[in-house]
């Protein structure tokens, strides 16, 4: 894979920067408009830090009306818009381009309405994922999608990328937990899609908007389902002598009719990295580790864990560690949840996100190791085993351009492997710029042309996050 | 007014998706899409002189129980799929509505029809709707292209989600030729608790308490008093045997402020949930108009009362009160203006059953704001520029 290309900045826009800033300044108060180079720098990349572009300006509106005013202006002036939540995208979904403004939603972070009777919450889109749960926790409720970045990431970003998390095996991903959005179209029109009820009739525009990576409009408010939390939850940790044995154990647990709330897999390199960081008590003499968490009352947890342990024994488990206390539970999860951060202390890495049919996991894991080794690099695997969503972390040195190129090439090979094994390029991170040029491996020309036509129905001038998701070539097909 | 809808004369029944694409490319006029023909009374009467049938596009293409997904061609019958899943102790999570009681048809519902109509049953509140389990589709668009979206894995955010868009689109955006669903294990055991004699508001309060508990109710319904039978409020629990014992006790305690909850006999309970799923209280030959209203549970009892103040109506509640089934006189607009007026934007009312003439003259689906309607029209154009598929079935102009 060669370096990801950005479209050349449009000289007609670059030449009018002053006039465009003046136009925006007429719409927003000074504290909502970032124009200085120093301050704009904070917005030039997201969590795909190998790529960065300085935006024209950054708008931080405080209301749907201000978002609408900015979009109306950009539409009239032909200015591109990259919407941004907290900038935690691993796929480069929020990376700007030089001839675009960044439209950040972080000043819109209020909880608008909580309704426990109907089990819904209405929030402004800039609220963080964890703040939603915090707003309902006192009555024992929670918001289910829990991406690793949940402390920082916003609901706006979660909706854009259809974020998942460790617990979506049981509770689904963002699209299964959003009931309605308020969204501003590129021409400034404000639409309400869905509401505080389920399955509205008519076309499922809500389903289309979730995961559309900021290409159809800018979401400013969302109505989310909240759920009553289980009485308790407890993980068990298994160590296996091979990834295959761990994979077969996962299949057997599902085959027995159990839906644990999470089933997380780590391979040996990942175990070592996480244990060194989190001191979670992970066994270091095994090849693969599974964290399986179940929920319910104490007695229910005991009986489910007993079933699961029995299955694990039948699959040659070497280490069994049942959590006996809240502290042990926290330690087990701390290791897993800090996997990305802990890896970042050891080396730079890129995180892949392909999903494969669960039956293909052992094969894809084996091939992943071979692919990365063939580039002379190392890989650590951490992933959601229950749903086949893999996260190989390819370790490299970001200051070595040759190594970066190798890492990206290995990543692309792994994603092609995932597609060829019956899976897809991305399970929960989104396409962004990172996987944009691989879209042709998963979709043929007809598939992509149909998506482009749908996109054009919302944004015919391609102003919204235009360099993302779809390969830069072939866009005329729509 | 004269409806003079032409009886379809030509029936195309392609044997492969390639053949289906050929037919679409060669089509010179509108095509009415048909699976098992069991939901032909749903939507506005379609205006087409030719039928495009999925009956020869049938069969399970791929089912690996350990992966908890199934891929089937659109014309596969629901009964074939459910039988294959039951053999492996699995199920479609969303309890698809069987359209035959409501519309009085014979024939076999197909999985393509389930997808295009997106009518989920009681388990919707816990396991999601049709859209939430549908992970992939293949369809033929109005240009005759074969298009895929999604796939057969459980988590997939690659590209725009056309899967959701096709789900519930009533065939307006293409001929669905293949679908992939994720599955759930069948629960080992179930228990249904019943409270008798609650009024609607009290019943919905009881259901909200049950559904807001940690015991994972998979059904919450209320059947108001009918004939000589008292009102009955139902809560369903599904889980492993030992959990059910525990949760029944907990739920009974939790519901105590609303009355003494009785555990129903399993067979009786299964039949009741099936009846609720299929709106059997209003089954044919009952000729009344039937509405399906999605709203917030806390608003539904007042909604039903407001409608009842304007006309004669019978109601029952599913989804913890969030889904209201209504039956009323089918004359005029079948109560559309009263029902949608009372709803006042706080939900969606769909006219499920009414004579053709009524459904041709009344918006079957909730009318949308101008901006959303314009997006809908642009999307129709993006999939089916010549308006070949099911013209007028969902929206008059499409």
Partner residue opposite A454 with nearest CB, options B131, B162, B292: B162
* Domain co-membership, B233 together with B127: no
Q: How far is A385 from chain B (nearest CA, A)?
A: 11
Partner residue opposite A424 with nearest CB, options B141, B151, B372: B151
Element (H, E) at B195: strand B189-196
A184 band by pLDDT with thresholds 50, 70 and 90 = very high
**Domain termination site, one of B239, B256, B273:** B273
Which of A206, A261, A450, A461 to mutate: most B Cβ within 10 Å?
A: A450
- Residue A403: strand, helix, or coil: helix
Q: Which B residues in the span 355-394 are in contact with A, Cβ-Cβ below 8 Å?
A: 365-366, 368-369, 371-372, 375-376, 378-379, 381-383, 394
Which of B132, B139, B153, B184 to mutate: most A Cβ within 10 Å?
A: B153
Q: Do A201 and B350 touch (CB under 8 A)?
A: yes
* Domain co-membership, B122 together with B154: yes
Q: How far is CA A370 from CA A375, A417, B99, in A?
A: 9, 12, 52
Alpha helix locations (H) across A58-212? 64-77, 129-136, 155-161, 168-171, 205-209
Q: How far is B226 from chain A (nearest CA, A)?
A: 26
Inter-residue contact A85 to A123 (CB < 8 Å): no
* Domain co-membership, B156 together with B62: yes
A8 band by pLDDT with thresholds 50, 70 and 90 = very high
Q: Do B322 and A207 touch (CB under 8 A)?
A: no
Q: How far is B228 from chain A (nearest CA, A)?
A: 31
* Domain co-membership, B201 together with B339: no
Q: How far is B225 from chain A (nearest CA, A)?
A: 24
Q: Do B242 and A299 touch (CB under 8 A)?
A: yes
Q: Is the pLDDT of residue A454 over 80?
A: yes
Mean pLDDT to the nearest integer, A401-411: 95
Give CA–CA dist A341/A131, Å, rounded. 21
Partner residue opposite B347 with nearest CB, options A197, A215, A257: A197
Q: For residue B163, list chain A residues with Cβ-Cβ distance below 8 A.
A: 207
Q: What is the DSSP letter of A448?
A: H
The token pair that represents A272 in the structure block: 């070592």
Partner residue opposite A359 with nearest CB, options B67, B346, B348: B67
Q: What is the CATH number of the domain that holds B142?
A: 3.30.465.10
Q: Which B residues in the span 115-134 are in contact with A, Cβ-Cβ below 8 Å?
A: 118, 120, 124-125, 128-129, 131-132
Q: What is the pLDDT of residue B53?
A: 97
Inter-residue contact A161 to B157 (CB < 8 Å): yes
Q: Do B160 and A212 touch (CB under 8 A)?
A: yes
**Domain termination site, one of B219, B244, B273:** B273
Q: Nearest chain B Cα to A449, which residue?
A: B147
Residue A138 burial class via C-beta count within 10 angstroms: exposed 0-12, middle 13-18, buried 19 and up: exposed
Give CA–CA dist B53/B75, Å, rounded. 8
- Residue B359: strand, helix, or coil: helix
Residue-wise pLDDT tens for chain B (398 aa)? 344 455 557 999 999 999 999 999 999 999 999 999 999 999 999 778 899 999 999 999 999 998 899 999 999 999 999 999 999 999 999 999 999 999 998 899 999 999 999 999 999 999 999 999 999 999 999 999 999 999 999 999 999 999 999 999 999 999 999 999 999 999 999 999 999 999 999 999 999 999 999 999 999 999 999 989 999 999 999 999 999 999 999 999 999 999 999 999 999 999 999 999 999 999 999 999 999 999 999 999 999 999 999 999 999 999 999 999 999 999 999 999 999 999 998 999 999 999 999 999 999 999 999 999 999 999 999 999 999 999 999 988 77
Mode of pairing for the β-strands spanning B232-239 and B313-318 = unpaired
Residue A289 burial class via C-beta count within 10 angstroms: exposed 0-12, middle 13-18, buried 19 and up: buried
Q: Which B residues in the span 217-236 are in contact with A, Cβ-Cβ below 8 Å?
A: none
Q: Is the pLDDT of residue A269 over 70?
A: yes
Q: Do A231 and B164 touch (CB under 8 A)?
A: no
A474 band by pLDDT with thresholds 50, 70 and 90 = confident
Question: Considering only CA atoms, which of A468, A429, A473 is closest in space to residue A96?
Answer: A468
Q: How far is B221 from chain A (nearest CA, A)?
A: 14
Instruction: Please work out, in degrees rounded to the nearest 5, the angle formed at the alpha carbon of residue B274 by the alpha carbons of B269 and B277.
Output: 125
Question: How far is CA A269 from its chain centroid?
Answer: 23
Structure-model confidence comparison of residues B47 and A165, the more confident one: A165
Element (H, E) at A57: strand A57-59
Parts of chain A belonging to CATH 3.30.70.2740:
347-436
Q: What is the pLDDT of residue A477?
A: 54
Peptide bond into A140 cis (omega under 30): no
Question: How far is CA A259 from its chain centroid?
Answer: 22
Q: How far is CA A140 from CA A143, A146, A227, B79, B239, in A?
A: 11, 16, 9, 40, 21
Q: Do A447 and B382 touch (CB under 8 A)?
A: no
Hey, what's the torsion of the CAs at B351, B352, B354, B357, to 10 degrees? 60
Q: Do B212 and A116 touch (CB under 8 A)?
A: yes
The token pair that represents B308 in the structure block: 């009842």
Give CA–CA dist B55/B288, Å, rounded. 31
Q: Do B208 and A358 touch (CB under 8 A)?
A: no
Q: For residue A430, list chain B residues with Cβ-Cβ distance below 8 A.
A: 157
Q: What is the DSSP letter of A387?
A: G
Mode of pairing for the β-strands spanning A227-228 and A348-351 = unpaired
State the total domains in chain B. 3
Q: Do A299 and B214 touch (CB under 8 A)?
A: no
* Domain co-membership, B233 together with B377: no
- Residue B11: strand, helix, or coil: strand
Parts of chain A belonging to CATH 3.30.70.2190:
233-339
Residue A317 burial class via C-beta count within 10 angstroms: exposed 0-12, middle 13-18, buried 19 and up: buried
Give CA–CA dist A47/A148, Å, rounded. 13
Q: For residue B378, list chain A residues with Cβ-Cβ distance below 8 A.
A: 457-458
A370 band by pLDDT with thresholds 50, 70 and 90 = very high
Q: What is the pLDDT of residue A254?
A: 85
Q: Nearest chain B Cα to A196, which residue?
A: B296
How many other CB atoms are there within 10 angstroms of residue B18's CB atom? 11
* Domain co-membership, B156 together with B266: no
Strand-pair partners of B192: B236
**Full-model pTM:** 0.96
- Helices A401-420, A361-374: crossing angle, 10 deg rounding: 160
The token pair that represents A369 in the structure block: 């190791």
* Domain co-membership, B356 together with B391: no
* Domain co-membership, B170 together with B159: yes
- Dihedral sign, Cα of residue A436, residue A441, residue A443, residue A449: positive
The answer, for B260 touching chain A at a CB cutoff of 8 Å, is no
Q: Do A207 and B151 touch (CB under 8 A)?
A: no
The answer, for B183 touching chain A at a CB cutoff of 8 Å, is no
Spell out the residues 6+ positions from residue B49 whose beta carbon is closer than 8 angstroms to its own: B6, B8, B9, B10, B29, B30
The token pair that represents B167 in the structure block: 């789900």
Q: Which B residues in the span 35-54 are in contact with A, Cβ-Cβ below 8 Å?
A: none
Q: What is the CATH number of domain A1-229+443-478?
A: 3.30.465.10
The answer, for A306 touching chain B at a CB cutoff of 8 Å, is no
* Domain co-membership, B170 together with B71: yes
Give CA–CA dist A94/A117, Å, rounded. 36
Q: For residue B86, list chain A residues with Cβ-Cβ distance below 8 A.
A: none
Question: Considering only CA atoms, which of A457, A164, A77, A329 is closest in space to residue B381?
Answer: A457
Q: Do A426 and B383 touch (CB under 8 A)?
A: no
Partner residue opposite A207 with nearest CB, options B146, B164, B295: B164
Inter-residue contact A161 to A211 (CB < 8 Å): yes
Give CA–CA dist A371/A360, Å, rounded. 16
Side-chain half-sphere CA neighbours of A122 within 13 A: 14
The token pair that represents A249 in the structure block: 């154990």
Q: For residue B145, list chain A residues with Cβ-Cβ distance below 8 A.
A: 446, 449-450
Mode of pairing for the β-strands spanning A319-322 and B347-353 = unpaired
Q: How far is B169 from chain A (nearest CA, A)?
A: 5
Instruction: Please work out, in degrees rounded to the nearest 5, the angle formed at the alpha carbon of residue B200 by the alpha carbons of B198 and B202.
Output: 60
Mean pLDDT to the nearest integer, A343-348: 90
Question: Which residue's entry shows tokens 């991406």?
Answer: A147
Alpha helix locations (H) across B135-293? 162-166, 200-211, 241-255, 266-277
- Dihedral sign, Cα of residue A47, residue A48, residue A51, residue A54: negative
The answer, for A411 touching chain B at a CB cutoff of 8 Å, is no
Q: Nearest chain B Cα to A469, which residue?
A: B159
Look over chain A and give the mean of its residue pLDDT values, rounded to a whole number.
94
The answer, for B153 touching chain A at a CB cutoff of 8 Å, is yes
Q: How far is CA A222 from CA B25, B76, B372, in A?
A: 41, 37, 17
Which of A179, A197, A224, A355 to mutate: most B Cβ within 10 Å?
A: A197
* Domain co-membership, B263 together with B307: no
* Domain co-membership, B146 together with B69: yes
Which of A118, A417, A420 to mutate: most B Cβ within 10 Å?
A: A118
Q: How far is CA B257 from CA B194, B195, B205, B215, B261, in A?
A: 14, 11, 11, 17, 10
Q: What is the DSSP letter of B75?
A: T
Topology of A347-436 in CATH?
Answer: Alpha-Beta Plaits (3.30.70)
The answer, for A158 touching chain B at a CB cutoff of 8 Å, is no
Question: How far is CA A256 from its chain centroid?
Answer: 30
Q: Do B146 and A446 touch (CB under 8 A)?
A: yes
Q: Do B129 and A164 touch (CB under 8 A)?
A: no
Mode of pairing for the β-strands spanning B323-328 and B289-295 = antiparallel
Parts of chain A belonging to CATH 3.30.465.10:
1-229+443-478
Give CA–CA dist B93/B97, Å, rounded. 12
Q: How far is A121 from chain B (nearest CA, A)?
A: 12
Residue-by-residue DSSP string for B126-174:
HH--HHHHEEEEEEE-TTS-EEEEE-SSS----S--HHHHHTTSTTTT-
Give CA–CA dist B229/B222, Å, rounded. 13
For domain A233-339, the CATH architecture is 2-Layer Sandwich (3.30)
**Domain termination site, one of B213, B246, B273:** B273
Q: Do A457 and B322 touch (CB under 8 A)?
A: no
The range of the structural domain enclosing residue B106 comes to 1-186+368-398
* Domain co-membership, B83 together with B215: no
Give CA–CA dist A58/A104, Å, rounded. 7
Start-to-end C-alpha separation, chain B: 21
Q: Do B371 and A189 touch (CB under 8 A)?
A: yes
Partner residue opposite B148 with nearest CB, options A195, A254, A447: A447
- Helix, strand, coil percent content, chain B, rounded in steps of 5: 35, 25, 40
């Amino acid at each position: 894979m060669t370096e990801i290309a950005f479209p050349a900045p449009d000289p007609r826009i670059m030449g009018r920067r002053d006039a465009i800033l003046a136009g925006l300044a007429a719409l927003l108060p000074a504290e909502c408009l970032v124009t200085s180079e120093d301050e704009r720098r904070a917005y030039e990349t997201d969590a795909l830090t190998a790529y960065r572009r300085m935006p024209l300006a950054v708008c931080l509106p405080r209301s749907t009306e201000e978002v609408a005013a900015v979009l109306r202006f950009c539409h009239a002036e032909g200015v591109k818009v990259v919407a941004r939540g907290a900038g935690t995208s691993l796929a480069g979904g929020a990376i700007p381009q030089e001839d675009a403004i960044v439209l950040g939603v972080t000043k819109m972070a209020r909880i608008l309405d909580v309704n426990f009777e109907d089990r819904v919450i209405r929030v402004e889109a800039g609220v963080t994922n964890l703040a939603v749960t915090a707003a309902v926790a006192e009555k024992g409720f929670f918001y289910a999608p829990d991406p690793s970045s949940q402390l920082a990431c916003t609901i706006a970003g979660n909706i854009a990328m259809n974020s998942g998390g460790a617990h979506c095996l049981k509770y689904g991903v963002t699209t299964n937990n959003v009931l309605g959005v308020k969204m501003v179209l590129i021409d400034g029109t404000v639409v309400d899609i869905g509401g505080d009820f389920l399955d509205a009739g008519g076309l499922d525009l809500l389903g289309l908007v979730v995961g559309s990576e900021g290409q159809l409009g800018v979401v400013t408010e969302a109505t989310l389902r909240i759920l009553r939390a289980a009485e308790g939850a407890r993980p068990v940790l298994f160590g296996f002598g091979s990834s295959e044995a761990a994979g077969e154990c996962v299949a057997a647990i599902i085959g027995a009719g159990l839906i644990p709330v999470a089933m997380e897999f780590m391979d040996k390199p990942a175990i070592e990295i996480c244990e060194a960081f989190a001191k979670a008590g992970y066994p270091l003499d095994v090849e693969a580790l599974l964290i399986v968490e179940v929920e319910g009352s104490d007695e229910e947890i005991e009986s489910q864990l007993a079933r699961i342990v029995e299955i694990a024994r039948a699959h040659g488990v070497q280490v069994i560690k049942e959590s006996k206390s809240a502290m042990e539970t926290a330690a087990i999860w701390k290791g897993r949840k800090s996997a990305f951060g802990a890896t970042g202390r050891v080396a730079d890495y890129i995180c892949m996100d392909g999903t494969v049919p669960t039956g293909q996991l052992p094969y894809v894991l084996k091939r992943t190791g071979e692919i990365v080794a063939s580039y002379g690099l190392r890989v650590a695997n951490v992933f959601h085993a229950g749903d086949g969503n893999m996260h190989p972390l390819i370790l490299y040195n970001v200051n070595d351009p040759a190594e970066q190129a190798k890492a990206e090439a290995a990543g692309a090979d792994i994603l092609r492997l995932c597609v060829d094994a019956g899976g897809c390029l991305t399970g929960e991170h989104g396409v962004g710029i990172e996987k944009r040029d691989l879209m042709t491996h998963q979709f043929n020309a007809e598939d992509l042309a149909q998506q482009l036509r749908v996109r054009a129905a919302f944004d015919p001038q391609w102003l919204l996050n235009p360099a993302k998701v779809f390969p830069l070539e072939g866009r005329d097909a729509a | 007014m004269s409806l003079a809808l032409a009886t379809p004369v030509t029936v195309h029944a392609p044997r492969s998706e390639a053949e289906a694409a050929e037919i679409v490319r060669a089509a010179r006029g509108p095509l009415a899409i048909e699976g098992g023909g069991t939901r032909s009374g749903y939507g506005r009467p379609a205006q087409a002189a030719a039928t495009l049938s999925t009956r020869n596009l049938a069969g399970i293409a791929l089912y690996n129980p350990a992966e908890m997904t199934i891929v089937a061609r659109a014309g596969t019958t629901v009964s074939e799929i459910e039988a294959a899943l039951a053999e492996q102790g699995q199920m479609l999570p969303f309890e698809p509505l069987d359209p035959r009681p409501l519309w009085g048809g014979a024939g076999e519902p197909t999985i393509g029809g389930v997808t295009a109509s997106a009518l989920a049953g009681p388990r919707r509140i816990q396991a999601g709707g049709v859209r939430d389990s549908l992970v992939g589709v293949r369809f033929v668009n109005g240009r005759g292209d074969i298009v895929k979206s999604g796939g057969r894995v459980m988590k997939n955010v690659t590209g725009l989600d056309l899967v959701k868009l096709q789900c519930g689109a009533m065939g307006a955006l293409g001929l669905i030729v293949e679908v992939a669903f994720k599955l759930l294990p069948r629960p080992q055991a179930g228990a249904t608790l019943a409270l008798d004699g609650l009024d609607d508001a009290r019943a919905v309060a009881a259901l909200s308490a049950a559904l807001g508990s940690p015991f994972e109710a998979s059904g919450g319904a209320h059947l108001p008093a009918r004939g000589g039978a008292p009102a009955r409020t139902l809560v369903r629990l599904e889980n492993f045997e030992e959990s059910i014992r525990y949760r029944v006790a907990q739920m009974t305690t939790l519901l105590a402020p609303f009355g003494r909850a009785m555990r129903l006999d399993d067979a009786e309970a299964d039949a009741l949930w099936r009846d609720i799923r299929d709106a059997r209280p209003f089954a044919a030959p009952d000729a009344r108009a039937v509405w399906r209203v999605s709203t917030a549970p806390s608003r539904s009892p007042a909604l039903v009362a407001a409608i009842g103040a304007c006309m004669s109506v019978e109601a029952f509640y599913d989804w913890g009160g969030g889904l209201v089934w209504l039956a009323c006189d089918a004359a005029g607009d079948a109560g559309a203006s009263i029902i949608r007026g009372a709803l006042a934007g706080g939900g969606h009312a769909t006219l499920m059953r009414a004579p053709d003439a009524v459904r041709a003259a009344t918006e079957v689906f909730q009318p949308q704001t101008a901006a959303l309607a314009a997006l809908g029209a642009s999307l129709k154009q993006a999939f089916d520029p010549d308006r070949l598929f099911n013209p007028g079935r969902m929206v008059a102009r499409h």
